[in-house]
Structure 1
């Protein structure tokens, strides 16, 4: 893995033909394959063939598959949303303040980015070169956190919010309402074994509230951060 792949200046070839491709073109071809067939279908050979080049020609642009997948993730995620100016260290955070709206917008944008590419969750795990876009997402979230948190707590807060987003994005089985419908068919014959599940589903059927796990979980995380900061001011 080339850790500085996105950051080190790329040498200009002094001999041979001029580069005919760009890294974005290569990443786009790989994304098209992954969107259609999954990340496992992506290989240097396959991407080169789809572009009409040889596998060896791609090594002029990136060292290998690890960097290719990192380039795909950079391209797919894009830059983070604009969230307004960072909070002043002298500002007094309040429950429900602007930082909550900013982090909610950040988390929603990240969820939408993952939803647009089913393979992105898998691509964002493990060791890989970290690009400007991925680092900008972290920068944007850290910048809008309220004052009163240590550096470690700020990093943990972003990790917790991002983990919640990843959990929701990675849920299999479709929407909560689809899962409830599937369970309902089983519970008709086995309701006495799962009374708590039946009670919860009955309440949802009567009062609504399905498919709200993302917003509910995020609000509870932000409530906890607000309570922690309020305790210190």
Structure 2
């Protein structure tokens, strides 16, 4: 797949009738399908049908599904947000929360951003914005990149869990049944579950990640 489709290098069609669609409109139609039914439901034929055109007509705008998904990702995550915080820690907290919000809005984007793939200007912009907040700190380049990767991974994981709430509820029911019958074998699990408390996995994990980075910065300062 060429990255020209993500970086504004798309040539205008030179033959055939005047374009009646836009690449953005095609991507928006595909996102509507993905939001409702998941990424697997997206195909060139399905998107063409949603728009009232033939499958072949879409190939005047992009080569295939891989390119379509890449444009979908760019539109899903959007432009990097404007962050009100300047200090590195509150800024990265804000950055991670906003990234999580984008993934929660479009859960299929978690799957679409996994593995090796082309990166567009918006996604690269998110990385640049976060790395700018780590500039000047006693961290090596690889450590700054890893910090961003771990924070993004944390947000992706929690978004993925949120998208599987129905399955998670079923798992809790299954655990309850096992504990009812075999609870004597799992005293620590029962004790932890019995203490209750709010489910703050995202906030807890985010704080612990940044705590670790802060310790490292202090050690080197």
Secondary structure of residue in 1 paired with 2:62:
coil
Counterpart of 2:104 (choices 110, 115, 130) is 115
Deviation at 1:181, TM superposition (A): 6.2
Deviation at 1:191, TM superposition (A): 1.7
Cα-to-partner distance string for 1:11-65 (whole Å, 9 max, x where unaligned) = 2333332211111100111011111221111111111111111111111111110
* Kept in 2: contact 1:67–1:128 (CA 8 A): no
Q: Would you say 1:201 and 2:193 are equivalent positions? A: yes
Distance 1:175 1:217 in 2: 22
What's 1:161 paired with? 151
Change (3 A) 1:143 1:37: same
Gapped regions of structure 1 (runs ≥ 5): 87-97
Of structures 1 and 2, the one with the larger relative CO (CA 8 A, separation 6+) is: 1
Secondary structure of residue in 2 paired with 1:80:
coil
What's 1:143 paired with? 132
RMSD: 2.2
TM-score by length of 2: 0.90
Distance 2:166 2:100 in 1: 15
- TM alignment of 1:99-110, pairs within 5 A: 99-110=88-99
- Structure with bigger helix share is 2
Gapped regions of structure 2 (runs ≥ 5): none
Secondary structure of residue in 2 paired with 1:110:
helix
* Kept in 2: contact 1:180–1:201 (CA 8 A): no
Distance 1:228 1:81 in 2: 27
Deviation at 1:123, TM superposition (A): 0.7
What's 1:89 paired with? none
Deviation at 1:198, TM superposition (A): 0.7
Cα-to-partner distance string for 1:185-230 (whole Å, 9 max, x where unaligned) = 43233221111111111122xxxx3311111111111011011011
What's 1:221 paired with? 209
* Kept in 2: contact 1:173–1:179 (CA 8 A): no
* Kept in 2: contact 1:177–1:210 (CA 8 A): no
Distance 2:159 2:8 in 1: 32
Distance 1:136 1:225 in 2: 22
Deviation at 1:175, TM superposition (A): 10
Distance 1:85 1:23 in 2: 34
Distance 1:175 1:33 in 2: 21
What's 2:21 paired with? 21
